[in-house]
Amino acid sequence: MNRRKALRHLATAALATPLARAQAAPPRPYRVVEVAKLEAEWSFFQFPFDGRHALLLRVPRPPEGDTRSLAVEAQGATVYLVAYHLICTHLGCTPSTPNAERQLVCPCHGSRFHALDGRAADGRPNPPLRAIALEVRDGVVFATGYR
């Protein structure tokens, strides 16, 4: 590598590193809502997260091996919570809140996702909705990043 190439390489690396760090920075934790406000299974709460809409749901006990939901003790029982970034994995529109079939429907091209686990519900090869990592502190749900 000659001197000019070496200097160009160093300049590029110096500029790229802060940009890469900024792009990889995790979203700031967000205080969503008190667990007690999600009074029944399938109740939900919308909130802003990482520049878009997100959805927190209280769901029934998830299938064995599920890694997307969070189980917390509240109201004298185990409560299961899951949250998704509301960005359709087809082309990025904003899916709806759950319908009567417990599906989130995208208004742009009709993709549907299971509210329970975010998987595609319509046979299309769309990836699941992106799950948000949750924590509960003193009875309050916080969105802390992605799963």
Establish how many alpha carbons lie within 13 A of residue 123's alpha carbon, considering only the half-sphere containing its beta carbon.
0
Decide: residue 86, CB within 10 A, 0-12 exposed, 13-18 middle, 19+ buried: buried
Handedness of CA 98, 125, 130, 139 (dihedral sign): positive
Q: Which two tokens stand for residue 108?
A: 């742009």
Taking the complex as a whole, the smallest distance from the CB of residue 57 to ligand FES amounts, in Å, to 19
Interface contacts to ligand FES, rule CB under 6 A: 88, 90-93, 106, 108-111
- Closer residue to ligand FES (CB): 69 or 89: 89
Taking the complex as a whole, the smallest distance from the CB of residue 106 to ligand FES amounts, in Å, to 3
Taking the complex as a whole, the smallest distance from the CB of residue 133 to ligand FES amounts, in Å, to 23
- Closer residue to ligand FES (CB): 9 or 109: 109
- Closer residue to ligand FES (CB): 6 or 91: 91
- Closer residue to ligand FES (CB): 31 or 124: 124
Distances (CA, A) of 44 to 23, 61, 80, 81: 29, 15, 12, 9
- Closer residue to ligand FES (CB): 35 or 98: 98
Interatomic CA distance for residues 28 and 145, integer angstroms: 8
Taking the complex as a whole, the smallest distance from the CB of residue 112 to ligand FES amounts, in Å, to 9
CB 115, CB 59: distance < 8 Å: yes
Taking the complex as a whole, the smallest distance from the CB of residue 125 to ligand FES amounts, in Å, to 12
